[in-house]
Structure 1
Amino acid sequence: MSSLAVAMTISYSTGFFRLIFRWYGSIWRSIYKELIVYLVLFFSVRLFYTLAIPIIDPDQEYRMKARFEAICRQFNEYTKLIPLTFLLGFYVSNVVSRWWRQFECLNWPEDLLSLLCVAVNGTDERSAQNVQVRHRVARYINDKEESPYTRWMTPLHWVQQIMSDEVTKQGMTVTYLTNFISELKSFRTSFRRLFCHDWVCVPLVYTQVAAIATYGFFFFALFGRQNINGNDVDTIFPLFTVVQFLFFVGWYKVGLDLMRPFGLDDDDIELSYILERNINVSFAIVNKLQMSEP
């Protein structure tokens, strides 16, 4: 496995403490900056209530504190009106399903090249030429073009032309050709689906609704969860609010991270490793495995 692959998709054990305290690819790494900023803002609001109000207007301290407490209680009621669990659950569920469908669109060359080795074998007098044909096909199905519209289509079209020439030169049977073209069609269809996933993203308004709901909820919680008279939701440290922050913001971050799975984030799909693996497997099938005795 390449060094790039090691740094990407995270494997983890099922042990509780190892699972919770992993850093790479974890919830802690994903949201620790936002959590620090949120706690700074939270305690800034508390310091404003306890220290700044008496300094601003000592004569009106009790009236200003009473008004501030009323605002905090009202904001705490607002947090109950945001259907955050429903919005995030629906959003992340769709993103995760889309992420897995993109992974399923990745092609693996074994089936296609196995059919190729049956159709263009190396046991007759054209053995050397057949080896060359197999190598060309193996190279093309792992190749790409620079054109943004045909980079995945052109090499597969070349493969189709090669097989058409082989039918003329070698008299390949219709059954072999039909099976190979059918597998090549599936190969092309997977690329097209992957291209469409990259082209058409999750609608922006969908992500905006999830973002506004998540951060709006915790904006109201900045005031609504303050430990003031008549509002004992949290104690000195907003423990339950922090737990909610881990759940909801971490949940939202999952959706953002899985939106584009072919990058360099911790849990992105190891695309470079897959491409390297496919090339090695392809040439092993058409060369080493084809030449070895059963």
Structure 2
Amino acid sequence: MTEQNVRWGILGPGGIANAFAADLKLVPGAELAAVGSRSAATAETFAARHGFARAHGSYAELAADDDVDVVYVATPHAFHLEGALLCIEAGKAVLVEKPLTLDLPTSAHLVQAARSAGVFLMEAMWMRCNPAIRKIAELVADGVIGDVASVHADFGLHGPFEPSHRLRDPKLGGGALLDLGVYPLHLAHLVLGTPASVHGWAKLTPENVDETSGILLGYESGAVAALTCSINGESPNGASISGTLGRIEIPPGFMVPRSFTLHRPGQDVETFEFPFEGTGYQFEAAEVQRCLALGELESPLVSHTTTLEVMTLLDTLREQMGVVY
């Protein structure tokens, strides 16, 4: 695919698919090929709005479209597995909105299905593809802030949401953890890896999904990560990574930053800026295209191992919190 466009399909034309489609136009070589919905009318409206060449009235029709190379699965969490398997079985590369599925067993099943079929699969953890986050990971790996001592991150939305909202529906994987908490967890995992100790607590909604959650992770190195998420309390949505030689501060919107600051004792504060157009989804799409051009079946930025390790944490936390889907 090095000399031709990558033909994109979108499965599930909802809100996040609209943002992704708009950013896809910023990616060189990305062709807006087709969209699939359970409603032909919805697919046609979405295709017309964003300029997709074809609209399909079912997910199966999209998966069977020979003029699609890769499909972005943008359905609610509970339907990721079904949609992604449909595309994998049709030989399509797949980018699946985070989290990959609702739990570790189904995520492992999806990874194995992709590997067996020899097709590309990536969880759409756009934060890990963001230029600022990639630079932060580089600085930490190079020891610029010394040994990491702590990670602090929060992601909270102003609520409350109505009982009928998907964020409060356990059948749809509702709650703060999978929608919001996954970002602080991925940030901690990015710089510290897998923890030795996992502790989570949550206030549950009447529907038994987590409304506000606190997470404390401990690592063999002695580092800690203190993370929070909420669907009923807007927080600063910032993050910091502290080390023995300095600190990195990520401003509000840490999951899609355009800048960050580096603080070191006795030195001027350094500001790193990464301005970009759009919302930020274009970076994960570009990474998918880079991998496809090289014939890779997974991305080093969001590897299968990374996805499964974070999903293991999510399962452990949900069990501690008493959340069942």
Does the alignment reach a TM-score above 0.5?
A: no
More helix, by proportion: 1
Higher relative contact order (CA 8 A, sep 6+): 1
User: Which TM-score band applies after superposition, normalised by the shorter structure?
Assistant: under 0.3
Q: Rg bigger for which structure? A: 1
TM score, norm. by length of structure 1: 0.22
The answer to which structure has the higher strand fraction is 2
TM-score, normalised with respect to structure 2:
0.20
